[in-house]
Amino acid sequence: MSRTVYLNGEYLPEAEAKVSIFDRGFVMADGVYEVTSVLGGKLLDFPGHLKRLARSLSELQMGNPLSDDEWLAIHRKLVELNAIDEGIIYLQVTRGNAGDRDFAFPAEDTPPTVVLFTQSKPGLAANPQAKTGLRVISVPDLRWSRRDIKTVQLLYPSLAKMEAKHRGVDDAWLVEDGFVTEGTSNNTYIVKDGKIITRQLSQDILHGITRASLLRYAAEAQMQIEERPFTIEEAQAADEAFFTSASAFVLPVVEIDGAKVGNGSAGPVATRLRELYLEESLKSAI
């Protein structure tokens, strides 16, 4: 069934939503994005996603084309028009149609291109991978050094994901200077002696919205948290490993580079954290 999508102020059938070949997003990957999950027709962690969007735009010297209320209204309208119960909403803002290809930014008054669309994912919350866990490989982190900006420049994570697929596993963890930065599209964690260990925020990783909420809920539940980098060897020897993202919530990792983590099945901490995240984020869903 054809979706209704949003393009620059209009709600259109997906086949009618067209963007210029000179769009800066198309020729320069000059744009930012957000992905918000929908459960029971409601938006999870929405204020966090809007805050990060504003930061990504400002780091790239782009204006925010819409107010928070307008962003919320568009998200809600797309949920309604596409009857989304469980799924995601993808939002992208690019520096617009420059009318030609040029490394220099187009004139200040060039309107940005604003695109939003839905992806229906029935069964998102009941994902069987929460029980089976996922297998990952490690690959070098060859991305640029401003990973805190959520740009649409996703070629390297996409290549890393394909490398994982070719090697028969689910995903790749990226390693720089001997330490795990993050997953191709998620933040990574290990658990040792009950303590949750995850890399601290910096320009080296995306500041995950799910990460921020989960760490807050875990701290409120008196769980111990340590924010520091860890190696693949430490992760392989950990009691548990897991990752977070807006569309996956919390998912266990049971194998890293062929070595079983813990007893090779979903651990109690990751399982508890997934429950906690779903429970708490649903309370604040809008």
Active-site amino acid positions: 150
**Of positions 196, 246, 256, 261, contacts ligand PMP by CB under 6 A:** 246
Is residue 214 a contact residue for ligand PMP (CB under 6 A)? no
Is residue 209 a contact residue for ligand PMP (CB under 6 A)? yes
Q: What's CA 234's distance to the chain center, in Å?
A: 24
Is residue 151 a contact residue for ligand PMP (CB under 6 A)? no
CA angle 45, 251, 222 (to 5 degrees): 65
Distance CA 98, CA 87 (A): 33
Distance CA 135, CA 261 (A): 10
Interface region with ligand PMP, contact rule CB under 6 A, candidates 22-30, 95-103, 124-132, 201-209:
201-209
Is residue 211 a contact residue for ligand PMP (CB under 6 A)? yes
**Of positions 97, 245, 271, 281, contacts ligand PMP by CB under 6 A:** 245
Is residue 93 a contact residue for ligand PMP (CB under 6 A)? no
How would DSSP label each residue in 215-261? Answer: HHHHHHTT--EEE----HHHHHTSSEEEEEETTTEEEEEEEETTEEP
Determine the 3-state secondary structure of 90 from DSSP. strand
Give the nearer residue to ligand PMP in terms of CB position, either 17 or 180.
Answer: 180
Distance CA 70, CA 54 (A): 13
Total residues binding ligand PMP (CB under 6 A): 13
Site string for ligand PMP, 225-244 (x = CB under 6 A): -------------------x
Tokens describing residue 193: 């002696």
Interface region with ligand PMP, contact rule CB under 6 A, candidates 71-79, 180-188, 252-260, 270-278:
180-188
Distance CA 263, CA 110 (A): 56
Locus of tokens 């997934």: 274
Is residue 186 a contact residue for ligand PMP (CB under 6 A)? yes
Give the nearer residue to ligand PMP in terms of CB position, either 145 or 263.
Answer: 145
Determine the 3-state secondary structure of 176 from DSSP. strand
Give the nearer residue to ligand PMP in terms of CB position, either 5 or 209.
Answer: 209
**Of positions 190, 206, 218, 251, contacts ligand PMP by CB under 6 A:** 206
Give the nearer residue to ligand PMP in terms of CB position, either 98 or 253.
Answer: 253
DSSP 8-state code for residue 109: T
Give the nearer residue to ligand PMP in terms of CB position, either 95 or 150.
Answer: 150
Report the site for ligand PMP in 30-89 (rule: CB under 6 A).
Answer: 35
Identity (one letter) of the amino acid at 163?
E
Locus of tokens 């928070």: 68
- Phi, psi of 67, rounded to the nearest 5 degrees: -80, 165
Give the nearer residue to ligand PMP in terms of CB position, either 78 or 91.
Answer: 91
Cα 227 to Cα 188, 190, 215, 286: the distances in Å are: 11, 11, 10, 30
Question: What does the binding site for ligand PMP look like in residue numbers (CB under 6 A)?
Answer: 35, 182, 185-187, 206, 208-211, 244-246
